[in-house]
Amino acid sequence: MRKFAFLLVTAIAATFQGCGPLANLPLSDLSLPTAQLPPLPSQPKLSQEEAGSGLKEALIKGVGSGTEKLQQTGGFSQNAQYKILLTPEIQSLESKIRGNSLLNAAIGKELDKAIAAMNQGAEMATAKAMPIFKNAVQQMSFRDALNILTGGNGAATQYLKSNTTTELTAAFQPEIKTALETVSIYQYWTPIVNTINRNKKVLGITQDVQPNLESYVTEKTLFALFAEIETQENLIRKDPVQRSSDLLKRVFDYADNKQNSSNP
């Protein structure tokens, strides 16, 4: 095409050379026609149903990745971020217990066993919670999908957390209780609580400690689960490689474009 245009201009110039005044007309004044390309078709708008489906797919993917990581042996106990320690009431007394030779001899080992059992129970319960969590994701309304998609890091997880925590806790706590019983935690926990309450004066407390172990481990387990889901969500938002389906690509590409257009 360029060669043709050059030959055309050369031919026109040669013609003008024998045409009197026209021979002095500069070539820059010539206006050659340009090709008119048809406009590119506009991309169809993302429907609310597509946005909701993409969001749910992303969350289910995040839930699956998060639970798979946490349910492995050591998923809690070997993770500095999620390891479950003693309940706050007992944790505040731990240094006194371990520093007292009699109390440490009585329940020091039980403290270690209780910590190990809580983390093992959390790992077991996390594996059982996947169907519950997945159902909660699937029941989510499409209404806020577009706002969530364009809301930036963690927006989908925070929405899910605010709308499902109560239901998840009610469904999750029995699983925690069963898991804790499976690992025989009360064999270690009951002597700890009884020994502490018998030695309140030595430990400098005035009231019995009555920690709710199931609630405490449930809270810590859910915290870890939501944190892992948010990590996975943000990976999908940040890294296109993580968008493993056409729907995820389309939905999060839309979110990227919306975010870029609002931040010139």
pTM confidence score = 0.72
Check residue 4 and give its pLDDT: 45
Question: What is the predicted pLDDT for the residue at 103?
Answer: 93
Burial of 4 (0-12, 13-18, 19+ CB in 10 A): exposed
d(CA 68, CA 229): 11
Q: What is the pLDDT of residue 73?
A: 93
C-alpha distance across the termini of the chain, in Å = 37
What's the CA gap between 103 and 216, in Å, rounded? 24
Distance CA 198, CA 200 (A): 6
Q: Cα–Cα distances in Å, from 122 out to 16, 137, 173? A: 90, 21, 10
Distance CA 257, CA 164 (A): 29
What are the C-alpha distances in Å from 135 to residues 35, 116, 139? 56, 30, 6
Paired tokens of 186:
């009360």
What is residue 153's predicted lDDT score, i.e. its pLDDT?
87
Q: What is the pLDDT of residue 129?
A: 81
- The pLDDT value recorded for residue 113 is 92
Q: What is the pLDDT of residue 253?
A: 73
> According to the 3-state scheme, what is the secondary structure of the chain?
CHHHHHHHHHHHHHHHHCCHHHHHCCHHHCCCCCCCCCCCCCCCCCCHHHHHHHHHHHHHHHHHHHHHHHCCCCCCCCCCCCCCCCCHHHHCCHHHHHHCHHHHHHHHHHHHHHHHHHHHHHHHHHHHHHHHHHHHHHCCCCCCHHHHHCCCCCHHHHHHHHHHHHHHHHHHHHHHHHHHHHCCCHHHHHHHHHHHHHCHHHHCCCCCCCCCHHHHHHHHHHHHHHHHHHHHHHHHHHCHHHCCCHHHHHHHHHHHHHHHHHCC
Contacts of 44 (CB under 8 A, 6+ apart): none
How large is the angle between the packed helices 101-138 and 213-238, nearest 10 degrees?
50
The pLDDT of residue 114: 92
Please tell me the predicted confidence (pLDDT) of residue 262. Answer: 60
User: In which residue ranges of the chain is pLDDT below 70?
Assistant: 1-46, 241, 244, 258-264
